[in-house]
Amino acid sequence: MKRYRDALNYSIRTLIANRALSLSRAHRLLYSTLRERYGLPARAAQDCYREAIAIAKSWLKNPKRGVVPTAKGLSVWLVHGLGYRVKGDYVELAGGYRLRVIGWDRRYDGFPNREARLVFRGGRFALYVAKRVPRPAKYAPKGVLAVDVNERQIVVGNSSVEVRIETPVERALHYMRLAEGLQVKYSSSRYRAWRRRSGVRRRVRYFHRKARNIIEDWARKTAHTVISLAKQSQLAVAREDLTGLVESLRELPKSHRTALIVLGYRRLGLWVDWQAEKNGVPLLIVNPADTSSTCPRCGAKLVEVGYRRLRCPHCGFEADRDSIAVLNIEKRALSKMGGSLTTPTAPQVTDVSPNRWGEPVNRPKGTLAL
Ligand SMILES: [Zn+2]
Q: What is the pLDDT of residue 59?
A: 92
Least confident of 210-219, 268-277, 335-344: 335-344
Mean pLDDT of the chain, nearest integer? 85
Indicate the pLDDT class of residue 122, thresholds 50, 70 and 90: confident
Q: Which residues contact 29 (CB under 8 A, 6 or more apart)?
A: 14, 15, 18, 20
Q: How far is the CA of 291 from the centre of ligand 1 (A)?
A: 13
Indicate the pLDDT class of residue 191, thresholds 50, 70 and 90: low
Q: What's the gap between Cα 194 and its chain centre?
A: 30
For residue 361, pLDDT over 50 is answered with no
Q: Which residue, among 115, 101, 112, 220, has the nearest Cα to 165 in the 3D structure?
A: 220
Q: How far is the CA of 141 from the centre of ligand 1 (A)?
A: 27
Q: How far is the CA of 353 from the centre of ligand 1 (A)?
A: 31
Q: How far is the CA of 125 from the centre of ligand 1 (A)?
A: 61
For residue 201, pLDDT over 90 is answered with no
Residues belonging to the chain: 370
Give Dmax over CA atoms of the chain in angstroms.
Answer: 81
Q: Which residues contact 4 (CB under 8 A, 6 or more apart)?
A: 38, 40, 44, 48, 76
Q: How far is the CA of 338 from the centre of ligand 1 (A)?
A: 22
Q: How far is the CA of 310 from the centre of ligand 1 (A)?
A: 11
Q: How far is the CA of 314 from the centre of ligand 1 (A)?
A: 5
For residue 345, pLDDT over 80 is answered with no
Helix residue ranges per DSSP H, the chain? 2-18, 23-36, 42-61, 169-185, 198-232, 243-251, 256-279, 321-336
Q: How far is the CA of 72 from the centre of ligand 1 (A)?
A: 59
Q: Which residues contact 117 (CB under 8 A, 6 or more apart)?
A: 75, 76, 77, 78, 127, 128
For residue 194, pLDDT over 70 is answered with no
Q: How far is the CA of 311 from the centre of ligand 1 (A)?
A: 8
- Tell which wins on pLDDT, 63 or 215: 215
Q: How far is the CA of 319 from the centre of ligand 1 (A)?
A: 11
φ, ψ (nearest 5 deg) of residue 94 = -60, 140
Q: How far is the CA of 286 from the centre of ligand 1 (A)?
A: 21
Q: What is the pLDDT of residue 104?
A: 85
Q: What is the pLDDT of residue 195?
A: 67
Q: How far is the CA of 342 from the centre of ligand 1 (A)?
A: 27
- Tell which wins on pLDDT, 136 or 249: 136
Q: What is the pLDDT of residue 97?
A: 86
Q: What is the CA angle 127-131-132, rounded to 5?
A: 165
Q: What is the pLDDT of residue 339?
A: 58
DSSP state at residue 294: B
The answer to whether the beta carbons of residues 100 and 89 sit under 8 Å apart is yes
Indicate the pLDDT class of residue 217, thresholds 50, 70 and 90: very high
Q: How far is the CA of 155 from the centre of ligand 1 (A)?
A: 21
For residue 356, pLDDT over 60 is answered with no
- Cα–Cα distance, 44 to 94 (Å, whole number): 7
Q: What is the pLDDT of residue 204?
A: 87
Rg of the chain over all Cα atoms, to the nearest angstrom: 25
Q: What is the pLDDT of residue 258?
A: 85
Indicate the pLDDT class of residue 80, thresholds 50, 70 and 90: confident
What average pLDDT does range 74-92 have in this prediction? 87
φ, ψ (nearest 5 deg) of residue 294 = -110, 145
The neighbouring-strand residues paired with 113 are 131
- Cα–Cα distance, 78 to 84 (Å, whole number): 6
Q: How far is the CA of 302 from the centre of ligand 1 (A)?
A: 8
Q: What is the pLDDT of residue 193?
A: 66
Q: How far is the CA of 290 from the centre of ligand 1 (A)?
A: 14
Q: What is the pLDDT of residues 228-243, one digit of tens each?
A: 999 999 999 999 887 7
For residue 370, pLDDT over 50 is answered with no
Q: How far is the CA of 287 from the centre of ligand 1 (A)?
A: 20
Q: Which residue, among 23, 90, 79, 103, has the nearest Cα to 56 in the 3D structure?
A: 23
Q: What is the pLDDT of residue 333?
A: 93
Percent of the chain topping pLDDT 70? 89
φ, ψ (nearest 5 deg) of residue 65 = -60, 145
The neighbouring-strand residues paired with 75 are 119
- The phi-psi region of residue 144 (left if phi > 0; otherwise alpha if psi is between -120 and 50; otherwise beta) is beta
Q: How far is the CA of 300 from the centre of ligand 1 (A)?
A: 5
The answer to whether the beta carbons of residues 8 and 117 sit under 8 Å apart is no
- Cα–Cα distance, 241 to 27 (Å, whole number): 44
Q: What is the pLDDT of residues 11-28, one digit of tens each?
A: 999 999 999 999 999 999
What average pLDDT does range 293-309 have in this prediction? 91
Q: What is the pLDDT of residues 147-174, one digit of tens each?
A: 998 878 899 999 989 999 999 999 999 9
Q: Which residue, among 294, 320, 298, 293, has the nearest Cα to 308 in the 3D structure?
A: 320
